[in-house]
Structure 1
Amino acid sequence: MSLLNFLPLLCALALLAPVALSPVSTRANRVVTRVSLSVFGRYVRESGRRQARRRRLLRAAHVGETYRLYASKTWVYAGLAAVAGSVVGVYLVGLVLAVLSVSSATLRETLPSRLGFLANLHAVPTLSMSELFVTLLFSSATLGLAAGGLTYWLRWATLSHRADARERRIDASLARTVAFVYALSRSGMAFPEILRTLARNRAVYGEAAEEVEVAVKAMDLFGLDMLTAIQQMAQQSPSEKFEDLAENLTSVLQSGQSLPSYLHDQYERYQEDAEAEQEAFLELLATLAEGYVSLFVVGPLLLVTLLVIVGLMGIAETLEFLHLMTYLLVPLGNVGFVVYLDSITESLTAGGRDRDVDDPTIADVRRVSDPDATRSVLGDGGVAASASRDDRLANAERLALYDRFRDLRSGLENPVRTVLADPVVVLYATVPLAVVSLVVRVGPAVAAGTATPRAVDDAVVQAALFVLATFAVVRELRRRRLMSIEAAAPDLLDRLASVNEAGMTVVESIEQVADSDLGVLDAEIRRTWRDIEWGTDAATALYRFEDRIDSPTITRIVTLVTNAMHASDDIGRVLRIAADDAQATRRLRRQRRQEMLTYLVIVYLAFLVFLIIVAALNSILIPALEQVPQTETGGSVSAAVPGTGGVSSVSVDAYTLVFFHTALIQGLFSGVVAGKMGEGSVRDGAKHAAVLVTVAYVVFLALP
């Protein structure tokens, strides 16, 4: 077939290239923008109820495009999709006609004897040129209109989805954001500066801080007064809770009421809302857990049993259906369930992101990229200001080289700390080792053609367990360490608050607390005090403390305390608020773990039942076939089983292999789902997956 036949298809796909590249290429995005505005810009209607709603969605989703530009791009995307869909429709009909233009005799020879009747149903009439033209035109127009309409709908539906996702993240982070504003207001900081501080720390406090940044930009870039900026922020927010908070805040600021008292009431209200929302969420998770067990554990179990019995009775060949279910349907179903869980649990992790803290030891040193780097390099390693230009440049380049390899050097110097800080790092070592072990163990046998499925399975499963187990151990150590630190954080804050309220400064408070017993935080607090003793200011010492621990809770605490220190040295009340917030967060997490423990047990028990029945099928039903007269076919054992309609040849080894793979795959995904439901992270499912896969592997090793 000539390549010229595919030229229209290649042209249609080439039309979509700028659209596909626009999110990652500035030039492609500029081309799409110019074409969109020049072709459809003048036809976009900007007035009307629907247009006003879509314009609000654009602002709520924080899309950096005007309504006219977004609508113009939508029409361009829909038009290109319609053209590409029309061309693809022609090729699709041609492919269908080519596939169906097979004679009945050929189909009868290809199909199994029991399905031979399907060949009689197959009949493709011969189409004339006019009929073929009408068929291709109809398919082209139908698929083109469908592609264009679907693209147009998806553009606006995606916008609504992004706004809804932001609303969930705003509501989830609202309590801790209000606690931050309340604490800083108690420290005496001016309210406009509180808003600016919150906007600067949006990576710590999440989506609610992103909304506050709207008001800060309105004040600093467009010169709006604070009240007008807050009102504008309220109108653009997708969250009704945040909108009510902003509007009530405007009223409080205008009336001259006590701002801390209002914020205290709001903080307690949002904490109660957070507890109520978590209860509702736990009820939803309970329902999902029961549905998962019924649909993805019991369902495949019943289907496996039915297919095996049908296959063994000789009614139909079911081995291919078992393969389809084991290797495609079960993984796809579990992946879809995990994706759905991730979408509804997104709000639980919003606003708790870590931030990167630069190494304060070299934070104030000028870099090569600094235009003033060649003028003065005092404190950059001992080079005097009177040194030559070449010496100054060489020293600055050495500092830049140090920055580039700093992470690698620190990782090699203290690998345990590096791995505990980010358990994913351990995969960089274990995955290559697992691949090498596979190549060494099964590579020669595969090359020689003597590899057996059992040997390959043993090597693959053992390598996978090695990767899973090592990652699970490191992840669990990190999780327990963070839990211990977050459990000790409220006690640390309470002690700091007590000492500070007694009249001591922040530095003196840290000195006093460094000598107390704080459990897992003892060593870190002593290191913080040692930093201060050696001349580091308190804020930098706390930032180093935050960087070493790398916990979202500690990050929020340090952010609050260091910003409150800029307003006043009397931060006892701020520390009390931070302690209450940390305690409330820990209480919610502990409640969730306790509630979900029951459903973790259910997932484990459901998998064990699944494993027992599959093992029974393999060790009882299949061996029963050995009592039936057997034949040797190509080196594999086959059993003749009388069925309702005749005799069927059953491959015992094939069924045993598919049982083994079904148990392994079910154990892997059940563990992932258990981690996602119980602890909110797929990574935490590694330990459950390792346990379940190990149990399945050991059970099948013990079977005769």
Structure 2
Amino acid sequence: MMFNTLIRRWINRDPIRYQSLQADLTSIRSGVTLEHYIGRTVQVAILGGLGFAALAYAITSVLIFSADRTGILHFYNVFNIPFPRDLDFTSPAFLAIRIIIALIAFFWGAFIIQALAFRYPGLQKGNRATKINMTLHNAVAYMYAMRKGGAQLIPIFRSLSENASIYGEVALEFRQVVRDADFFGYDVITSLRHLRETTPSEKLKQFLEDMTSVIESGGDLVNFLSGRVRLYQEEARFEQKQFLQFLSLVAESYVTLFVAGPLFLIIIMVVMGMMGGVAILQMTAVVYLVFPIGSAVFILLIDIISLKSETVERFVRAKWLHEYSDVQVYHREGEEPFFARLVKYDRVRNVREFLRHPFAAFQKNYTLTLFITIPIAIMYIVALVLVVPQYSDIELYIDIVDDHILIALLIVLVPYAFFYEMWRRNIQGMEALIPEFLDRMAGINQVGLTIAQAIGIMVNTNLGLLSYEIKRIKRDIDWGASFSDALIRFEDRIRTPLIARTVTLITKASQMSGSIGDVLAIAASDAKMSELLKRERLSDMFIYTAIIYLAFVVFVFVVAIISNNFIPILGNVEAGGIPQGTPISGVSGESIKAILRLMFHSVVLQALLSGLIAGQMGEGSLKAGVKHSCIMLVIALVIFNIFI
């Protein structure tokens, strides 16, 4: 209680200072008050500062202990400060130095954590604004479909907010309008103005301002929404171009820093080996720490700035319909074995279907491959450990084992990448045909036929992979399902954001009106725009995917030359046979083995991480990068086992 009072007084002392933080917390819909956030930040900063202080104290103690053991101070005396030769490192003066350094680390650590915590809501605000801007045209199309059917604004906003799993952050924004109207009794105008003041998106803010003006002036809201859909579709294309320009900068930075950079450092450290300092520890840090951590930072950066596909979820509620509750069920003797056989059949049906058509199951759900390949890889590694002798030379043991560990990794990744690509190509083939399907549906509906009748006509058309799904929709309708239920089942089978938005838009429009030709035309335009944006990203980022491949090939080539032609020379140099004044010295055989191992592992890590980054930049998914990683890993394995 006293802590909260102190935090409140601290804020009240200078409230203007925290206005932007308060606005950011509201914009990201954090659900916490300013006092609570600052209080939690202070607590985390204190704990983090204590951690920094303990680390600094421990490092200082280790350095002083090392100096006490060797009698050498391990730093360069820049200012030529006179130090006595025999220092007592256990004296109270050195204890005070350690405490002072720990205090400095505490304050710096606490300050850095507090600054990052205060900046975090602003970063999240910008991230939410980007997501809102990229999906605003989808939400406006949904509002247009409902408004054209005669729905009022609050029911429109409520229906949109209920589909937040499909429309993402923009649906969560309009949930604030519904909350203000339901719980605080605000009218539509007041609720929209309140959302305009708190939303992080400038585009949504302008849209709300224009919508408020149209409502107050009594204008045609249907025409307004129709015009805004087309306008925002064009703006979404422009915003993606800006995003791709920034992504190209990230790609160039990655190639420079974490492909050419590690290669440059490795060359320098090998040259240092010729000069007498093998620099094994430095190479280990570069290979196992600098490159993986830097690549992980780039992956996280791309993930933050990218607009990821929202998870498609539908909450299905099963309901037992007692249409024939008054009909008495008679249990006849002797039928129990038949019912038992039915229960048994239901249990083994899925397993039997999987065993009969395993590839079809993998195409539908590529993650099923992991349930088979991971146990196989584990058994392979266990067999490897049992078969390979326990050599006393650890470098020899690692040299034998690491190739097989890489093979076990490929056993897991190759089937996953293969079936993921098959699944992705099927989905992309269907999504590419969605605009044509919607255009034809719109044309049929505009001549006076219902949507169900239009589906019956579309069965006879050739739409590639989509034709089979259209036939299934028609079959569901023939068997008594409504048009909306048949489309929802189609969405549940495919589960992609584009199809989920299209199905949601069509089902809601068909519930509002039977004539939805204009809505279908807008949905077709939206699907065309989504496909166009996807193709533009693939074409624009293909060059950077190729650059990553070329950089990897150069990396492998240089490492192979160093490992095959340069490093063995160091092992053949005898220190005693070199004239005085020559800077080259010999390197032990153990160091040569360690350097070669580090070279191979650097190529393996380069292949694995560069492939993932290529997939994330080119296709927007780490899963798409698994195939690139597999290709690069195979190249590394072949080159180091055949040519080196």
TM-score w.r.t. length of structure 2 = 0.87
Quote the residue 1:701 is aligned against.
641
Shift of 1:506: 1.7
- The AA in structure 1 aligned to 2:29 is H
Cα-to-partner distance string for 1:158-193 (whole Å, 9 max, x where unaligned): 222222221121112112222222233233333322
Q: Answer whether contact 1:640 1:647 (CA < 8 A) is retained.
A: no
Cα-to-partner distance string for 1:522-544 (whole Å, 9 max, x where unaligned): 11111111111111111111111
Shift of 1:59: 1.2
Residues 23-38 of structure 1 mapped to structure 2, 5 A cutoff: 37=4
Shift of 1:676: 1.2
1:542 to 472, 480, 487: 487
In 2, Cα distance between equivalents of 1:672 and 1:506: 43
Quote the residue 1:428 is aligned against.
371
1:688 to 628, 638, 641: 628
Note closer, same or farther for the CA distance 1:481–1:122 as it changes in structure 2 (3 Å cut). farther
Secondary structure in 2 aligned to 1:648? coil
Shift of 1:102: 4.1
Residues 309-458 of structure 1 mapped to structure 2, 5 A cutoff: 309-311=271-273, 313-345=274-306, 348-349=307-308, 352-356=310-314, 358=316, 363-365=318-320, 378=322, 416=359, 418-445=361-388, 452-458=397-403
1:57 to 24, 38, 53: 24
Secondary structure in 2 aligned to 1:52? helix
In 2, Cα distance between equivalents of 1:644 and 1:531: 86
Q: Answer whether contact 1:175 1:267 (CA < 8 A) is retained.
A: yes
Note closer, same or farther for the CA distance 1:123–1:219 as it changes in structure 2 (3 Å cut). farther
- The AA in structure 1 aligned to 2:525 is D
In 2, Cα distance between equivalents of 1:93 and 1:584: 58
Task: State the aligned residue count.
Answer: 618
Moved more, 449-458 or 313-322: 449-458
- The AA in structure 1 aligned to 2:587 is S
Quote the residue 2:154 is aligned against.
192
Q: Answer whether contact 2:68 2:89 (CA < 8 A) is retained.
A: no
Q: Answer whether contact 2:139 2:167 (CA < 8 A) is retained.
A: yes
Q: Answer whether contact 1:196 1:213 (CA < 8 A) is retained.
A: yes
Residues 273-312 of structure 1 mapped to structure 2, 5 A cutoff: 273-311=235-273
Residues 120-139 of structure 1 mapped to structure 2, 5 A cutoff: 125-126=88-89, 128-129=91-92, 131=93, 134-135=96-97, 138-139=100-101
Residues 84-163 of structure 1 mapped to structure 2, 5 A cutoff: 84=50, 89=53, 92-93=56-57, 96-97=60-61, 99-102=63-66, 106=70, 125-126=88-89, 128-129=91-92, 131=93, 134-135=96-97, 138-139=100-101, 141-163=103-125
Q: Does 1:647 align with 2:606?
A: no
Moved more, 546-555 or 47-56: 47-56
Secondary structure in 2 aligned to 1:684? helix
Q: Answer whether contact 2:60 2:98 (CA < 8 A) is retained.
A: no
Note closer, same or farther for the CA distance 1:93–1:500 as it changes in structure 2 (3 Å cut). same
Quote the residue 2:609 is aligned against.
669
Note closer, same or farther for the CA distance 1:47–1:252 as it changes in structure 2 (3 Å cut). farther
Shift of 1:49: 2.6
- The AA in structure 1 aligned to 2:236 is A
Q: Answer whether contact 1:174 1:208 (CA < 8 A) is retained.
A: yes
Note closer, same or farther for the CA distance 1:69–1:671 as it changes in structure 2 (3 Å cut). closer
In 1, Cα distance between equivalents of 2:638 and 2:181: 65
In 1, Cα distance between equivalents of 2:55 and 2:298: 34
- The AA in structure 1 aligned to 2:215 is L
Quote the residue 1:29 is aligned against.
none
Cα-to-partner distance string for 1:241-299 (whole Å, 9 max, x where unaligned): 11111111000111111212222222222222222222222222222222222222122
Quote the residue 1:618 is aligned against.
563
Residues 577-592 of structure 1 mapped to structure 2, 5 A cutoff: 577-592=522-537
In 2, Cα distance between equivalents of 1:507 and 1:547: 19
Note closer, same or farther for the CA distance 1:327–1:107 as it changes in structure 2 (3 Å cut). farther
Shift of 1:548: 0.6
Shift of 1:664: 1.5
Moved more, 176-185 or 35-44: 35-44
Q: Answer whether contact 1:45 1:51 (CA < 8 A) is retained.
A: no
Note closer, same or farther for the CA distance 1:410–1:514 as it changes in structure 2 (3 Å cut). farther
Shift of 1:693: 1.0
Shift of 1:238: 1.0
Residues 180-329 of structure 1 mapped to structure 2, 5 A cutoff: 180-311=142-273, 313-329=274-290
- The AA in structure 2 aligned to 1:353 is T
Note closer, same or farther for the CA distance 1:662–1:153 as it changes in structure 2 (3 Å cut). closer
Shift of 1:574: 0.9
Secondary structure in 1 aligned to 2:388? helix
Q: Answer whether contact 2:45 2:113 (CA < 8 A) is retained.
A: yes
Shift of 1:445: 2.1
- The AA in structure 2 aligned to 1:89 is A
Residues 517-556 of structure 1 mapped to structure 2, 5 A cutoff: 517-556=462-501
Note closer, same or farther for the CA distance 1:507–1:285 as it changes in structure 2 (3 Å cut). same
Note closer, same or farther for the CA distance 1:46–1:419 as it changes in structure 2 (3 Å cut). farther
Shift of 1:200: 0.8
Note closer, same or farther for the CA distance 1:654–1:71 as it changes in structure 2 (3 Å cut). closer
Shift of 1:520: 0.3
Quote the residue 1:603 is aligned against.
548
Q: Answer whether contact 2:573 2:585 (CA < 8 A) is retained.
A: no
Shift of 1:408: 8.2
- Listed as ranges, the gaps of 5+ residues in structure 2 are 75-82, 331-339
2:538 to 586, 593, 602: 593
Secondary structure in 2 aligned to 1:452? helix
In 1, Cα distance between equivalents of 2:502 and 2:47: 51
Q: Answer whether contact 1:41 1:69 (CA < 8 A) is retained.
A: no
Secondary structure in 2 aligned to 1:647? coil
Note closer, same or farther for the CA distance 1:417–1:575 as it changes in structure 2 (3 Å cut). farther
Quote the residue 1:3 is aligned against.
none
Shift of 1:409: 7.0
Secondary structure in 2 aligned to 1:238? coil
TM-score w.r.t. length of structure 1 = 0.80
In 2, Cα distance between equivalents of 1:147 and 1:654: 37
- The AA in structure 1 aligned to 2:454 is S
Indicate the percent of aligned positions where both proteins have the same amino acid: 30
Note closer, same or farther for the CA distance 1:139–1:655 as it changes in structure 2 (3 Å cut). closer
Q: Answer whether contact 2:488 2:503 (CA < 8 A) is retained.
A: yes
Quote the residue 2:450 is aligned against.
505
What is the root-mean-square deviation of aligned Cα atoms in Å? 3.5
Q: Answer whether contact 2:11 2:18 (CA < 8 A) is retained.
A: no
Q: Answer whether contact 1:186 1:573 (CA < 8 A) is retained.
A: no
Note closer, same or farther for the CA distance 1:303–1:89 as it changes in structure 2 (3 Å cut). closer
